[in-house]
Structure 1
Amino acid sequence: MLSSISRLMDTAVGIPGTRLRFGADSVLGLVPILGDGAGALVGLYIVNEARRLGLPREKISKMIGNVAMDSVVGSVPLLGDLFDVYFKSHRRNVQIILDHFGVLPEELQRKR
């Protein structure tokens, strides 16, 4: 489920003819303050799930840093929206969880 959320937020839509992908986080970021706040709430949900799964504090701290970076830089008009397309904090944080448990992203796709 966390992988699906991160995909929706960070890479749901591809730009034809390029390797660029973006998601709801980039679109929400176009709405001043509320959009970045909504993206941060989703990011904090992923961090909380990682905490519930027992990830160590260092990894939780890194994940919180990713959410904070996305929220702070993402709130800058235009530059922040471009940043959201490239930074993908939700995917980074889900990858931290997968790495912790030694799960490969391909393994998640096979189980659907």
Structure 2
Amino acid sequence: MGIEMPVGNDPASIRQRIQMMEALLERAFTVPGIKRGVGLDAVIGLIPVVGDVITAAMGAYIIWEARNLGIPKWKLWRMAGNIAFDSAIGAIPVAGDLFDFVYRSNSRNLKIIKKHLDKHHPAAQVIDG
């Protein structure tokens, strides 16, 4: 049916799952006219309270996968802070919804994970295209 989700516990498979989740949350759709990627984080976040809880849980999945990679606890806390900040500001009506289009906590977390993987698991590197 298109894209296959890797199921392994090796760093390369975990990296692919995290990248897929980040793409879904941050740039799954393109807004016509402005050609800006928008993901489920911004779209589901439009639903008051429940939307922010759902997207925070999906962001927590990325942190859980990062923990499976052995990322240091201080980096996990930093990633959790990104999600908490995004959820807290995103819960504000209207202004929070606009904020979700700009602040991409999952992209920030992916950057932390990629930096860790590139240093500690160089075999898991892929050429981004």
Tell me the TM-score normalized by structure 2. 0.77
State the AA in 1 paired with 2:101.
V
Q: 1:97 to 1:80 in 2, by over 3 A?
A: same
Partner of 1:61: 77
Tell me the TM-score normalized by structure 1. 0.87
**Matched pairs, number:** 108
Partner of 1:10: 26
Residue among 62, 73, 78 paired with 1:46: 62
Matched, 1:70 2:89: no
Deviating above 3 A after TM superposition, structure 1's stretches of 4 or more consecutive aligned residues are: none
Q: Aligned to 2:92, what secondary structure does the other structure show?
A: coil
In structure 1, list runs of 5 or more residues that go unmatched.
Answer: none
What per-residue deviation string (whole Å, max 9, x for no partner) do you get for residues 16-54 of structure 1? 343522111111111111100000001111111111110
Q: State the shift of 1:96 in Å.
A: 0.8
Partner of 1:107: 126
Higher relative contact order (CA 8 A, sep 6+): 1
Partner of 2:101: 85
Which deviates further from its counterpart, 53-62 or 15-24? Answer: 15-24
What per-residue deviation string (whole Å, max 9, x for no partner) do you get for residues 54-84 of structure 1? 0011211110000001100000111111111
Whichever of the two has the greater Rg, that structure is: 2
Question: Which residues of 2 match residues 17-32 of structure 1 at below 5 A?
Answer: 17-32=33-48
In structure 2, list runs of 5 or more residues that go unmatched.
Answer: 1-16
Taking every aligned residue pair, what percent have the same amino acid on both sides?
Answer: 39
